[in-house]
Amino acid sequence: MASILEGVHSPEQLRNCSPSELEQLAAEIRERLITVLSSNGGHLGPNLGVVELSIALHYVFRTPTDKLLFDVSHQAYVHKLLTGRQEQFHTIRTPGGLNGFMLRTESPHDCYGAGHAGTALSAALGMAVARDRTGGKEHVIAVAGDAAFTCGITYEALNNIAHHTKRLIVILNDNEWSIDRNVGAIASYLNRIVTSSRFDYLHDRAGKLVEKVGGMTALRMARKAEEAAKGILLPSVIFEELGLKYFGPIDGHDIATLIRTLEFLKKQDRPVLLHVLTQKGKGFEPALEKQKKFHGLGPYDPETGETKPLGRRTYSEVFADTMVKLANLDSRVVAITAAMPNGTGLDRFQPFHPDRFFDVGIAEEHAVVFAAGMAAQGMKPFCAIYSTFLQRAFDPIVHDVCLQNLPVVFCIDRGGLSADDGPTHHGLFDISYLRSIPNLVHMVPKDEDEPADMLFTAMKWNGPIAVRFPRGLGPGTPVKDVPRALAIGKAELLQHGEHDRVAIFALGALVPMAEEIARKLEGEGIGAAVINARFAKPIDVHMLEFLAGTAEVILTLEDHVLAGGFGSAVLEELNRLGLTVPVVRIGWPDSFIEHGKVELLREKYGITAEAAIERLRPHLAVPKAQLVS
Ligand SMILES: Cc1ncc(C[n+]2csc(CCOP(=O)(O)OP(=O)(O)O)c2C)c(N)n1
């Protein structure tokens, strides 16, 4: 059979397909997703769940004129396949290839970029209002998962929509899963709508009526029957109270029903919300069995779904195992995650201390204020949030935690480059944005053993404190059994000789690079001191002052943007001390870094031992003996 997918170079071609061809297209898309992602990795489960929905959306609406937004946009792979990118699809998430999220620069069909949850409704409302003001006719459609409805911003948008526009379509893609099972009152509420048997009955009847009579009037009547039923069954449909007409729930895998319903909704002159039920991972048995794992993953076997074990513990796992130890030691310790029990490793903590584990949903702001409240009452909250998502909680960190000097511990996962995920997920800003806040201590471990010491130190510390660690595996340092407390603001001198001409202050994951640079310089007869800085705030001023007095040049290394980062902290201190020793800073430039492999990106942006040495050379041009004489 000829491939339909291969003939779809733009969404128009989709509209020439018969119902059975659309079914075949769905099957081909699933196969393509499973095959390509088995080598590239990516968000398999979410995309398998929206195949029919994406086909129906592109059948009914006309992008790029109509504006189609996906919340997070990790489920936009099918949209990419249908909007002229199927030939490049094999490059997704590879260096130079398609990005794993929507990117305005990638295609005119990607009208709004995302990677963080909860933005689709607000952005869609903004687009709808802009359209209304300029007399445009286009449709604006926001597709958001059920977990997007655990985000505060989503409700801030819902609170505004009906007041600001009459034409906006919200699609609630309900698969009951966030990355883990969705949590909170809204998840239970949606579940009540979906599982109500009385509602099912009326819904069926309404569906049959549409089938029998056909046409818009029938559909309208059918929906009326459903609305009446909802009124009886549920105290109210929350979305209607907020001014959006609610439709659904409908089967999100039934292309014909989806198309009919979207055609109907397109003609509405009021904001609407369509509740669509989908199954995450549909069409791939391993993904249905292991929802969490297949939300997003690296390469896997396309037949069995098996993945290669990493062989040792990741930073997140070491963190979570340490949390178990700390909670055993101190009953005040609690762990908080914002919808990332799996990603942060805290699902390893939960079985040991279920009553001290809190998944608050995709709600980073709330997570931090919630932690502040607990800390104010004498608890020791450890808030585990990825660096990139902690950006959401900047004000609560300032206003609630640091201003009140509350002992909340920020466990910042994915600090540094997040490789294949790209700019929405790189954790490259946390040192800058946290370093400026009074009262906060910021620590960065050099290997897997140090986080345990740092977390133990944090447990003992009576104020706001952060530990930042990178994604994935560390250098493989064994983790000792009993963690020890570290002195706040004290760096670790790893190597130092009498004739050192260079002092290398390295932070976290770049300590091995510092050692490599020192070895290479040693080979050229140039001595270098290597310092594991440990603290991004407060930095070790005594060590800095001492080495600045003896070295000809200071080198700083960080997996972070240079602007406002660790190297900047070093410059600020030297300036305060009135020391003018030259400083070479290695870190990420003042631009958003694309997705790619860590090594390749480091190479491209000069974050390598070789590049650092080249930057040092002008400062080492004159041999020391000559300088002294
Ligand atoms: C602010 C923020 N916090 C956390 C995440 C991590 N994250 C990515 S997708 C996701 C779950 C999304 O679930 P849902 O919206 O229901 O879509 P589904 O994957 O189930 O289709 C989470 C928590 C994120 N993208 N943004």
For residues 116 and 72, the answer to whether their CB atoms sit within 8 Å is yes
Is the per-residue pLDDT at 624 higher than 80? Answer: no
> What is residue 83's DSSP assignment?
I
Integer CA distances (angstroms), 144 to 123, 275, 364, in order:
12, 10, 18
DSSP letters of 141-175? Answer: EEEEEGGGGGSHHHHHHHHHHHHH-S--EEEEEE-
Bond before 64 cis per omega within 30 degrees: yes
Q: pLDDT digits over 466-501, tens only?
A: 999 999 999 999 999 999 999 999 999 999 998 999
Query: Which pLDDT score is estimated for 192?
Result: 84
Query: Which pLDDT score is estimated for 627?
Result: 46
| Catalytic residue IDs | 280, 364, 392
Which atom of ligand 1 lies closest to the CA of 178? 13
Query: Which pLDDT score is estimated for 181?
Result: 87
> What is residue 94's DSSP assignment?
S
| Predicted confidence band of residue 194 (pLDDT cuts 50, 70, 90) | confident
Ligand 1: centre distance to CA 592 (Å):
22
Ligand 1: centre distance to CA 153 (Å):
13
First and final C-alpha spacing in the chain: 83
Is the per-residue pLDDT at 328 higher than 70? Answer: yes
Question: Which of 322, 356, 313 lies closest to 337, judged by CA?
Answer: 356
> Can you tell me whether residue 409 is helix, strand or coil?
strand
- Amino acid identity, position 349: F
The closest residue, in CA terms, to atom 13 on ligand 1 is 178
Which atom of ligand 1 lies closest to the CA of 389? 1
Q: For the chain, what is the mean pLDDT? A: 93
Is the per-residue pLDDT at 207 higher than 70? Answer: no
Query: Which pLDDT score is estimated for 227?
Result: 54
Ligand 1 pocket mutation, candidates 52, 179, 392, criterion most atoms within 8 A of CB: 179
Q: In what side-by-side order are the strands of the sheet with 169-174?
A: 67-70, 140-145, 169-174, 272-277, 245-251
Query: Which pLDDT score is estimated for 189?
Result: 84
Ligand 1: centre distance to CA 48 (Å):
15
Query: Which pLDDT score is estimated for 124?
Result: 98
DSSP letters of 603-620? Answer: HHTT-SHHHHHHHHHHHH
The span from the CA of 5 to the CA of 85, in Å, is 11
The closest residue, in CA terms, to atom 12 on ligand 1 is 178
Q: pLDDT digits over 332-368, tens only?
A: 999 999 999 999 999 999 999 999 999 999 999 999 9
Q: What is the 3-state secondary structure (H, E, C) of 431-445?
A: HHHHHCCCCCEEECC
According to DSSP, the β-strands at 527-532 and 492-495 are antiparallel
Query: Which pLDDT score is estimated for 212?
Result: 46
DSSP letters of 18-61? Answer: -HHHHHHHHHHHHHHHHHHHHHH-B-HHHHHHTHHHHHHHHHHS
For residues 222 and 213, the answer to whether their CB atoms sit within 8 Å is no
Q: pLDDT digits over 54-70, tens only?
A: 999 999 999 999 999 99
Q: pLDDT digits over 516-573, tens only?
A: 999 999 999 999 999 999 999 999 999 999 999 999 999 999 999 999 999 999 999 9
Is the per-residue pLDDT at 197 higher than 70? Answer: no
- Amino acid identity, position 86: Q
Is the per-residue pLDDT at 373 higher than 90? Answer: yes
Say how many residues make up the chain. 629
Ligand 1: centre distance to CA 330 (Å):
32
Is the per-residue pLDDT at 617 higher than 80? Answer: yes
Residue 466 sits at the vertex; the CA angle it makes with 489 and 399, to the nearest 5 degrees, is 110
DSSP letters of 353-370? Answer: -GGGEEE--S-HHHHHHH
Is the per-residue pLDDT at 211 higher than 90? Answer: no
| Predicted confidence band of residue 215 (pLDDT cuts 50, 70, 90) | low
For residues 329 and 353, the answer to whether their CB atoms sit within 8 Å is no
The closest residue, in CA terms, to atom 21 on ligand 1 is 46
Q: pLDDT digits over 259-303, tens only?
A: 999 999 999 999 999 999 999 999 999 999 999 999 999 999 999
Is the per-residue pLDDT at 310 higher than 90? Answer: no
Question: Which of 463, 500, 459 lies closest to 326, judged by CA?
Answer: 459
Q: pLDDT digits over 442-451, tens only?
A: 999 999 999 9
The kind and range of the H/E element at 93 are: none
**Count helices and strands in the chain by DSSP H and E runs:** 26, 17
Residue 161 sits at the vertex; the CA angle it makes with 159 and 167, to the nearest 5 degrees, is 160
Is the per-residue pLDDT at 221 higher than 90? Answer: no
Query: Mean pLDDT over residues 97-105, rounded?
Result: 98
The span from the CA of 285 to the CA of 39, in Å, is 18
Ligand 1 pocket mutation, candidates 172, 278, 362, 368, criterion most atoms within 8 A of CB: 362
The span from the CA of 330 to the CA of 22, in Å, is 58
Pocket residues for ligand 1 (CB within 6 Å)?
46, 49, 71-72, 74-75, 116-117, 145-148, 173, 175, 177-179, 280, 295, 338-339, 362, 364, 389, 392
User: What token pair was written down for 331?
Assistant: 């009953």
For residues 214 and 318, the answer to whether their CB atoms sit within 8 Å is no
| Predicted confidence band of residue 203 (pLDDT cuts 50, 70, 90) | low
The span from the CA of 520 to the CA of 527, in Å, is 10
Ligand 1 pocket mutation, candidates 54, 72, 282, criterion most atoms within 8 A of CB: 72
Q: In what side-by-side order are the strands of the sheet with 380-386?
A: 357-359, 333-337, 380-386, 409-413, 465-468, 441-443, 535-537
According to DSSP, the β-strands at 441-443 and 535-537 are antiparallel
| Predicted confidence band of residue 232 (pLDDT cuts 50, 70, 90) | very low
Question: Which of 399, 397, 415, 414 lies closest to 464, judged by CA?
Answer: 397
Query: Mean pLDDT over residues 13-17, rounded?
Result: 93
The span from the CA of 413 to the CA of 393, in Å, is 14
Ligand 1: centre distance to CA 72 (Å):
6
The span from the CA of 300 to the CA of 129, in Å, is 44
CA trace torsion 89, 92, 95, 100 (10° rounding): 140
The span from the CA of 415 to the CA of 419, in Å, is 11
For residues 563 and 590, the answer to whether their CB atoms sit within 8 Å is yes
Query: Which pLDDT score is estimated for 153?
Result: 97
Give percent of the chain with pLDDT exceeding 90: 88
User: What token pair was written down for 581?
Assistant: 């020793």
- Amino acid identity, position 43: H
Ligand 1: centre distance to CA 74 (Å):
8
The span from the CA of 61 to the CA of 167, in Å, is 14
Ligand 1: centre distance to CA 576 (Å):
44
Lowest average pLDDT, out of 90-94, 186-190, 386-390, goes to 186-190
Integer CA distances (angstroms), 7 to 16, 28, 527, 605, in order:
11, 12, 63, 39
Query: Which pLDDT score is estimated for 237?
Result: 79
pTM of the model: 0.93
The span from the CA of 153 to the CA of 116, in Å, is 11
Which atom of ligand 1 lies closest to the CA of 46? 21
Question: Which of 66, 53, 62, 68 lies closest to 258, judged by CA?
Answer: 53
For residues 415 and 315, the answer to whether their CB atoms sit within 8 Å is no
Q: pLDDT digits over 135-149, tens only?
A: 999 999 999 999 999
Listed in sequence order, the residues at least 6 apart from 469 whose beta carbon sits closer than 8 Å to its beta carbon are 315, 316, 319, 411, 412, 413, 415, 444, 445, 451, 508
Which atom of ligand 1 lies closest to the CA of 151? 1
Query: Mean pLDDT over residues 159-167, rounded?
Result: 97
The closest residue, in CA terms, to atom 23 on ligand 1 is 339
Is the per-residue pLDDT at 200 higher than 70? Answer: no
| Predicted confidence band of residue 1 (pLDDT cuts 50, 70, 90) | confident
Listed in sequence order, the residues at least 6 apart from 437 whose beta carbon sits closer than 8 Å to its beta carbon are 397, 398, 402, 464
Give percent of the chain with pLDDT exceeding 70: 92
Neighbours of 1 (CB within 10 A): 5
Query: Which pLDDT score is estimated for 137?
Result: 97
The closest residue, in CA terms, to atom 4 on ligand 1 is 362
Query: Which pLDDT score is estimated for 470?
Result: 97
The span from the CA of 228 to the CA of 225, in Å, is 5
> Can you tell me whether residue 535 is helix, strand or coil?
strand
Is the per-residue pLDDT at 117 higher than 50? Answer: yes
